[in-house]
Structure 1
Amino acid sequence: MNNVLGKLIIIGGAVDKGSFTEVSYDENIANNLNFFETGILRRIIRESKHGEESRIEVITTASVIPREVGPQYVKAFEYLKAKNVGLMYIERREQAHDPEILARIQAADVVMFTGGDQLRLTSILGGTKFHDIILEKFKNEEFVYAGTSAGAAAASNNMIYQGSSSEALLKGEVKITSGLSLIQNVIIDTHFVQRGRIGRLFQAVVGNPRVLGIGLGEDTGLLITGDGRMEAIGSGLVILVDGRQIKDTNLTQVELGKPISINNLVVHVMSMYDTFDLNTQQMEIHNSQYHIPLMTAVEDEGEKKASPQPSPKERE
Structure 2
Amino acid sequence: MNIQGKLVIIGGAVDKGSFTETDLDKNASNNLNFFEKGILKRLIDESKHKKESRIEIITTASKIPKEIGPEYVKALNFLGATNVDVLYIERREQALDPEVLARLKAADVVMFTGGDQLRLTSILGGTPFDDMLIQKYRNEDFIYAGTSAGAAAASNNMIYQGSSSEALLKGEVKITSGLGLIDGVIIDTHFVQRGRIGRLFQAVVGNPKVLGIGLGEDTGLLITNGKQMEAIGSGLVILVDGREIKDTNLTQIELGEPISINHLVTHVMSKNDTFDLDTFRMTIKSSQYV
TM-score, scaled to structure 2: 0.94
Q: Show the counterpart of 2:225.
A: 226
User: Per the alignment, in what secondary structure is the counterpart of residue 167 of structure 2?
Assistant: coil
User: 1:19-168 residue pairs with structure 2 within 5 A?
Assistant: 36-38=33-35, 39-168=38-167
Distance between the aligned counterparts of 1:68 and 1:205, measured in 2?
A: 36
Q: Paired residues, what number?
A: 280
Distance between the aligned counterparts of 1:175 and 1:183, measured in 2?
A: 19
Give the C-alpha shift of residue 89 in structure 1: 1.2
CA contact (8 A) 2:162 2:172 kept: yes
Give the C-alpha shift of residue 16 in structure 1: 2.1
Q: Show the counterpart of 2:238.
A: 239
User: Per the alignment, in what secondary structure is the counterpart of residue 87 of structure 1?
Assistant: strand
Instruction: Please say which structure displays the higher CA radius of gyration.
Output: 1
Decide whether aligned partners of structure 1 residues 35 and 96 sit closer, same or farther in structure 2, where only a CA change above 3 A counts. farther
Q: Show the counterpart of 2:28.
A: none
Decide whether aligned partners of structure 1 residues 267 and 45 sit closer, same or farther in structure 2, where only a CA change above 3 A counts. same
Distance between the aligned counterparts of 2:83 and 2:130, measured in 1?
A: 22
CA contact (8 A) 1:16 1:63 kept: no
Structure 2: which 5+ runs fail to align?
25-30
Give the C-alpha shift of residue 35 in structure 1: 5.5
Task: Kindly report the root-mean-square deviation, in angstroms, between the aligned alpha carbons of the 2 structures.
Answer: 1.6
CA contact (8 A) 1:217 1:237 kept: yes
Give the C-alpha shift of residue 15 in structure 1: 2.8
Moved more, 147-156 or 80-89: 80-89
Q: Letter of the aligned partner of 2:34 in structure 1? A: E
Distance between the aligned counterparts of 1:78 and 1:118, measured in 2?
A: 26
Distance between the aligned counterparts of 1:182 and 1:149, measured in 2?
A: 16
User: Per the alignment, in what secondary structure is the counterpart of residue 133 of structure 1?
Assistant: helix
CA deviation string 1:195-253 (max 9, x = no partner): 00000000000000000000000000000001511000000000000000000000000
CA deviation string 1:260-299 (max 9, x = no partner): 00000000000000000000000000000000xxxxxxxx
Q: Letter of the aligned partner of 1:183 in structure 2? A: I
User: Per the alignment, in what secondary structure is the counterpart of residue 82 of structure 1?
Assistant: coil
Give the C-alpha shift of residue 37 in structure 1: 2.7
Q: Letter of the aligned partner of 2:108 in structure 1? A: D
- Structure 1 segments (4+ residues) deviating >4 Å: 29-36
Distance between the aligned counterparts of 1:35 and 1:259, measured in 2?
A: 42
Distance between the aligned counterparts of 1:164 and 1:95, measured in 2?
A: 33
User: Per the alignment, in what secondary structure is the counterpart of residue 37 of structure 1?
Assistant: helix
Structure 1: which 5+ runs fail to align?
19-28, 292-316
CA deviation string 1:8-58 (max 9, x = no partner): 00000013269xxxxxxxxxx887996553020010011101100100000
Distance between the aligned counterparts of 1:236 and 1:115, measured in 2?
A: 18
User: Per the alignment, in what secondary structure is the counterpart of residue 138 of structure 1?
Assistant: helix
Decide whether aligned partners of structure 1 residues 286 and 32 sit closer, same or farther in structure 2, where only a CA change above 3 A counts. farther
Q: Show the counterpart of 2:286.
A: 287
Fraction of identical pairs, as percent: 76
Q: Letter of the aligned partner of 2:204 in structure 1? A: V
Q: Letter of the aligned partner of 2:169 in structure 1? A: L
Q: Letter of the aligned partner of 1:137 in structure 2? A: K
CA deviation string 1:131-168 (max 9, x = no partner): 11111100100000000000000000000000010010
Decide whether aligned partners of structure 1 residues 172 and 36 sit closer, same or farther in structure 2, where only a CA change above 3 A counts. farther
Decide whether aligned partners of structure 1 residues 79 and 184 sit closer, same or farther in structure 2, where only a CA change above 3 A counts. same
TM-score, scaled to structure 1: 0.86
Distance between the aligned counterparts of 1:224 and 1:16, measured in 2?
A: 24
Q: Show the counterpart of 1:300.
A: none
